[in-house]
Amino acid sequence: MPVSAGQRVTPRITVLHGDDRPPGLSEDGLRFATGATLAEALPGTEVLLVWDFTSDAVRDAWPAADSVRWVHTASAGVDRLTFPGLLSSPVTLTNSRGVFDAPMAEYVLGLVLAMAKDLPGTIHAQSRREWRHRETEPVAGRTAVVVGGGPIGRAIARLLEAVGMTVELVGRRDFDGLPRLLPRADWLVLAAPLTDATRGMLDADMLASLRPSARVINVGRGALVVEPDLVEALAAGRIGGAALDVFASEPLPAESPLWELPGVIVSPHMSGDLIGWREALVEVFRDNLERYRAGEPLRNVVDKSLGYVTTSGASA
């Protein structure tokens, strides 16, 4: 059933969690479940909080969701929840849009500065006690193509522009124009949601359109990238480097060549995780829960046909 006015005061809430639970969340009618126990916890559940947003347990347990009216995920991306059973249902889906915008933008700016100024090389030389002088690259005046026109992409664009970069922001409506922008890109930043249209978008053809000095930054979703194609381009020196925070398989397998390829920075899906981020996610859920209890429109309602929140669904 969809969310509408006149909810009962205390809905039954189930929280899907992994190793950690949402801090400070102790609402009435609350129960906790792991991926292994979600199917037995779902019957009678009205509200499902997906705290473990890396889990596929909701898809597997969905046949037991006989009373769910609202699913909220503690993430910006909803790709693990866009399975046919949920998409075809009248259940309302919301995300945690807004929590990660500024942190991810800061992270991307940090990566740009670190790579342009060769901080990895400096740290490596220091570890070997080598006094190795070299010149570094400018940031101001360079061009960044940012793929993802949502709040995260826009926040990234603002910070990159603030240090003097020229930014081309590519959203869903501009996607067809991406190929003509790639040859001009010094930096290609992927911050798009994972949808049918964006899955595998960075493939051999797109990589071949980049200049040899261009660098790729991915803070969106790992499956935006065809990893074997990226590995091949990096190993052959056809692009200048990459900074990757998300991967097709997480944790990144120890045998992945990405760990050791020169010019590559690997981080463990942490670009949006500032100190206090878990508490911020809980507050987003609590705000929407109060709205739900009052029968008011929810914030951050995902357009399930698109796989992300549109402007009309962002706020009540």
Query: Which positions are catalytic?
Result: 221, 250, 269
Q: In sequence order, which residues have a C-beta less than 8 Å from that of residue 128 and are 6 or more positions away?
A: none
Q: How far is CA 52 from the centre of its chain?
A: 14
CA distance 117 to 198: 31
CA distance 272 to 288: 21
Beta-bridge partners for 257: none
Cβ(92)–Cβ(192) below 8 Å: no
Q: What is the dihedral angle through the alpha carbons of 269, 270, 276, 280, rounded to the nearest 10 degrees?
A: -50
Can you state the angle between helices 101-116 and 119-127, rounded to 10 degrees?
60
Query: What are the tokens at 115?
Result: 């790579």
List Cβ<8 Å contacts ≥24 apart for 206-212.
Answer: 206/178, 206/179, 206/182, 207/233, 207/238, 207/239, 208/233, 208/238, 209/179, 209/182, 209/183, 210/182, 210/183, 210/185, 210/238, 210/239, 211/183, 211/185, 211/186, 212/237, 212/238, 212/239, 212/240
Q: What is the SS3 assignment for 59? A: helix
CA distance 208 to 211: 8
